[in-house]
Structure 1
Amino acid sequence: MNLTAKEKISYGIGAVGKDMVYMLTASYILYFYEDILGVSAVFTGILLLAARVFDAANDPVMGILVARTKSRFGRFRPWLFSGTIVNALVLYAMFAVPEELEGNPLLVYISAAYILWGVTYTMMDIPYWSMIPAFARDSREREGLSTLGRTCAGVGSALVTVITMQAVYLLGKGNERIGFKWFALIVAVFFAFTAVLMCLCIKEKSTVDMPVNSIGDMFRALIRNDQAMTVVISIVLINCSIYLTSNLVIYFFKYDFGGEGWQNAYTLFNTFGGGVQILSMMLLYPLIRKFLSTVQVFRTGLGMAVLGYAVLLILACTNMSNVFLLFLPGFFIFGANGLLTILTTVFLANSVDYGEWKNGSRDESVIFSMQTFVVKLASGVAALLASVCLAVFQISDNTEAEAVAAVQSVMGLRLTMTVLPVIGLAAAAVFFGKKFCLTDEKMEEIGEALRKGAK
């Protein structure tokens, strides 16, 4: 039975709230801890990466728990509801750091809050994406649902990217620490609302069968599914590149592009980029998908991103001050991000069919738990690289303005946020090209074989 319009709409709305929370944390937690709370950039970077390593054990276990869940409310909804409510509370606590905390107590507080945020986010993120191959068995319908989920997730990400700094200044009346606290509360409440709405509207299919695996079985399944592992590694490389830039771009506008009203230029740039990313998922992807295969669209996205980073570096080195010139590289980078975001989910969903065809079992939660893990791992690695950049080139609110504006500081920032991402994207292109084999034709062949086997 196909999903109803109500289920699709509520599923998309759930993605908006979910990714507003993720983007607020992924893009601003380093800035909040390092530039506002005054925590060492290196400590913050190590913390963010260590939390992701912890998720290496937590995420697969969550996938197993979802697979083993049996309740009157279904397999997914109990985790979607409980995970969202707890994660919303932790999100607020993470940004509402008591002002009297300093020194080691402050470090303990932010460490505990951030690790707990990762654990509770996993509780609802894995079941959210696991529903795609479980509810939509046809590859075309699954691709459509993936596109819907990722498009709506892109809307959530774009909203946070666009409004965060302006909202922070407005809510805090110029005090960023207070502004982030109240903005996090607003996002948390909206997040909880969208999840409740989704849980009320989505009706799980009784025919969905998810095998229960032990941890050993799970890792063996991943090792056997070479295509899932290929996609996972590619996601890490791509997201590390993109998240590195998203972590540093606020510093670029504040300390390099600069000026009294830097937050206005930053908001304008992100407004344009967010719009491009949404349109890329809603319009550009369906359009070029009519003429190109998924693999060709993937390569196109990588090429667009590399071109965008090259143009960004050239413009940054000219010391120009017109934010509208940055729209050109922004168009290619944000547009590419929209395409690649959809495709990685589509490829992972296809790898579920591949695993069933090759190994005889469907491992939705196992494979999609890896998506959650690698996305967070990529953000942790990117945050560590960004923190090293900030420490090495002494870019911080606690540093004298003249030192931050020094040529070596701004040039180091420019190179880190452009050249390193290009290296990561190039590595992803080479690895993906050598290992990935799930072309459109191959998926048609696999789908036909599975249909015959089901008869």
Structure 2
Amino acid sequence: MANPAPGGQNRLPLHVVMAFASTALPVAAIGLVMGVYLPRFFASAVGLSLAAVGGAFTIVRLIDMALDPLLGMAMDRTRTRFGRYRVWLSIGAPIVMAAVYMLFMAKPGITEFYLIGWLLVLYLGISIVTLSQAAWGASLATGYHDRSRVYGLIQAVGVVGAVLILLLPMALGPKAAGAAGVHAMGWFCIIAVPIALFICLSLTPERVATDVAKERVTLNDYISLVRRPEMARLIFADLFMALGPGTTAALYLFFFHDARGYSHQQTNFLLVLYIAAGLVGAMFWGWLAQKVGKHRALMISTVCYAISQSALMLIPPATMPLAIPGMISVGFVSSAFILIVRAMVADVADEVRLETGKERVGLLYALVTTTQKIGTAITVGISFTVLDLVGYNAAEGAVNTPAAIRGLELCYVFAPIILVFFGGAAFIGWKLDAKRHAEIRRKLDERDALAAEAGLLDAVAGASVAVQAPH
């Protein structure tokens, strides 16, 4: 299934990686609409207030952030003849489809409780799909550098999904304006989910470690993982790297249309370029992580993000020739954050399994997906509340005061820079590099081989062989 790579590590065939990454396409498309279009859709087309929309997203995220650890524990305990993560992926897909329909097709007159309820269902489905894919990827790709490659391709496929969802309203023309565009995006996602699921489940194998302990996963396991220095750093960094781009996603349409004077068509086009730049960026940052190490690549990306994000304020309003390279550079840089952190979590999972003999991949990924949810809750809730306090009016055709526009600009441009810098600082002095991980994988592979040999002897001769971890 895997081809040898330099350094003795296995390299997954490209067709396996692409099939596995296919589910990232609809998930990324849904995530983009949720972060950029859905808040505005409910605040303008559906008729809810900014405070109500921001409050709904915050409430849902605060409730939902406790869900991922429970899902991670359940995944780590799952044993079926169909595999562990493919079962969860199959459960999450129909939940996502139902919630997308109820939210993306919402009509004027719904209440905040309707929004909260179906957001909870959607986030449940998305959590199951993204968490099962992330944990499955850690067991699928075992090499330090191959993980950068695999998670980079997952990110790239997600970018394709985001670009397609952005191009859809543009392809449909004026009839897809406003609410009609969100409806079209909803149908795209509903159709894409089962297609991607079929491709992934049909072509992707699933590995299960031979030395996995069968005991229950408890709250103490969760606490012990959070207290690990490497994991604590990743959680902190992932939170702040989610807060930065999360703030810009929630305010993007308001910033470029109302504060910078671009038309709706120009705003959509700039967003397409921003997302599309992430396709090249994902490949570049995955490559750079293999050359200089994942933690160094992340620190470099935070500095580049600060430079490119600051440049947006230097561009004169309604100046497309300058806005185009500006948005491309920001999209290129910000594509590094999620993919490298996810690859680093897989390395920590190997270290945990070596030291404890326990498979905790699902729970480890639950920790970082929870930080993503916390980041989204804080950005949407706080940003929309601040805009409401400064008097910003989100209604179509509304005229805002200079003070309201200035508050919008400060929230969009400078707050994310500070947040992302905090995330990059977390990797100063990082120890789990390629050399350390190669030693961990060597010991795990030796132990797995001994365990397989012991199992074979047990089956053939009834012998009982004690397996000791190599030192």
What TM-score do you get using the length of structure 1 for normalisation?
0.89
Matched, 1:166 2:175: no
Cα distance in 2, alignment partners of residues 208 and 47 from structure 1: 44
Q: In the alignment, is residue 444 of structure 1 matched against residue 438 of structure 2?
A: yes
Deviation digits for residues 297-347 of structure 1, max 9, x if unmatched? Answer: 1111101100012111222xx4x3212212343233211112223211111
**Structure 1, gaps ≥5 residues long:** none
Pair 1:393-2:390 in alignment: yes
CA apart distance, 1:217: 3.6
Match 2:409 to one of 391, 411, 414: 414
Unpaired stretches in structure 2, ≥5 consecutive residues: 3-11, 451-471
Deviation at 1:171, TM superposition (A): 4.6
Give, in whole Å, the separation in 2 of the partners of 1:59 and 1:287. Answer: 30
Indicate the SS of the match to 1:39. coil
3-state SS of 2:48 partner = coil
Q: What does residue 231 of structure 1 align with?
A: 234
Match of 1:426 in 2: 421
Distance 1:313 1:11, change over 3 A: same
Once residues 14 and 126 of structure 1 are traced to their aligned partners in structure 2, the CA distance between those partners, rounded to angstroms, is 12
Q: In the aligned structure 1, how far is the partner of 2:421 from the partner of 2:208? A: 44
| d(CA) in 1 for partners of 2:149, 2:55 | 38
State the alpha-carbon separation in 2 of the partners of residues 296 and 42 from structure 1: 40
Q: Mark the CA change 1:23 to 1:5 in structure 2 (over 3 Å): closer, same or farther.
A: same
Look up the match of 2:296: 296
SS in 2 for 1:227: helix
The answer as to 2:280 corresponding to 1:279 is: yes
Q: Which residue of 1 aligns with 2:345?
A: 348
Distance 2:194 2:174 in 1: 23
> Percent same amino acid at aligned positions?
15
- Residue 286 of structure 1 deviates from its aligned partner by 4.7
For residues 31 and 423 of structure 2, the distance between their equivalents in structure 1, rounded to whole angstroms, comes to: 23
Aligned-partner SS, 1:274: helix
| Closer, same or farther: CA 271–329 of 1 in aligned 2, 3 Å | same
Report matched runs for 1:183-194 at 5 Å: 183-194=185-196
1:134 matched to 2:139? The reply is: yes
8 Å contact kept, 1:77–1:199:
yes
Q: Is the 8 A contact 1:168 1:180 kept in 2?
A: no
TM-aligned CA deviation for residue 248 of structure 1: 0.8
Q: Indicate the residue corresponding to 2:323 in structure 1.
A: 326
In structure 1, what residue type is equivalent to 2:418?
I
Counting only pairs closer than 5 Å after superposition, residues 169-318 of structure 1 correspond to structure 2 as 170-172=174-176, 174=177, 176-205=178-207, 207=209, 210-211=212-213, 213-258=216-261, 262-282=263-283, 284-289=284-289, 291-315=291-315, 318=316
For 1:21, which of 5, 19, 30 is the aligned residue?
A: 30
Residue equivalent to 2:119 = 114
Tell me if the contact between 1:306 and 1:422 (Cα under 8 Å) persists in the aligned partners: yes
Moved more, 58-67 or 325-334: 325-334
1:245/1:421 contact within 8 Å kept: yes
Q: Can you list the C-alpha shifts for 1:88-138, whole angstroms capped at 9, x where unaligned?
A: 111111121233x35xxx112111111111112112221111111212223
- Whether the 8 Å contact between 1:247 and 1:383 is mirrored in structure 2 is yes
1:380 equivalent in alignment to 2:377:
yes
Deviations 1:391-435 (A, max 9, x none): 123333438733x1x22121111111011111101221233326x
Larger mean CA deviation between 135-144 and 345-354 belongs to 135-144
Q: Kindly tell me the number of residue pairs found equivalent between the two proteins.
A: 439
Q: Which has the higher helix share?
A: 1
1:10 has 2:19 as partner:
yes
Residue 142 of structure 2 is aligned to residue 147 of structure 1: no
Cα gap change, 1:168 to 1:379, in 2 (>3 Å)? farther
Pick one of 32, 38, 43 that aligns with 1:34: 43
1:140 and 1:64 map into 2 onto residues whose CA distance is 27
**Whole-angstrom CA distance in 1 between matches of 2:286 and 2:195:** 30
Closer, same or farther in 2 for the Cα pair 1:73/1:141, shift >3 Å? same
Does the 8 Å contact 2:92/2:128 carry over to 1? yes
User: 1:46-125 to 2 correspondence within 5 Å?
Assistant: 46-99=55-108, 101-102=109-110, 106-125=111-130
CA RMSD of aligned residues (A): 2.4
Between stretches 87-96 and 139-148, larger displacement belongs to: 139-148
Shift of the alpha carbon at 1:285? Answer: 2.4
1:286 and 1:76 mapped to 2: Cα distance? Answer: 24
Maintained 8 Å contact 1:294/1:439 = yes
Shift of 1:291: 4.2
CA contact (8 A) 1:96 1:181 kept: yes
Q: Greater CA radius of gyration, 1 or 2? A: 2
Amino acid paired to 1:157 = A
8 Å Cα contact 2:387/2:407 also seen in 1: no
Give, as a single letter, the amino acid of the residue that structure 1 aligns with 2:182.
F
Q: TM-score, normalised by structure 2?
A: 0.86
SS at match of 2:130: helix
Hey, what's the Cα distance between the residues in 2 that align with 1:369 and 1:229?
13
Alpha-carbon deviation of 1:224?
4.1
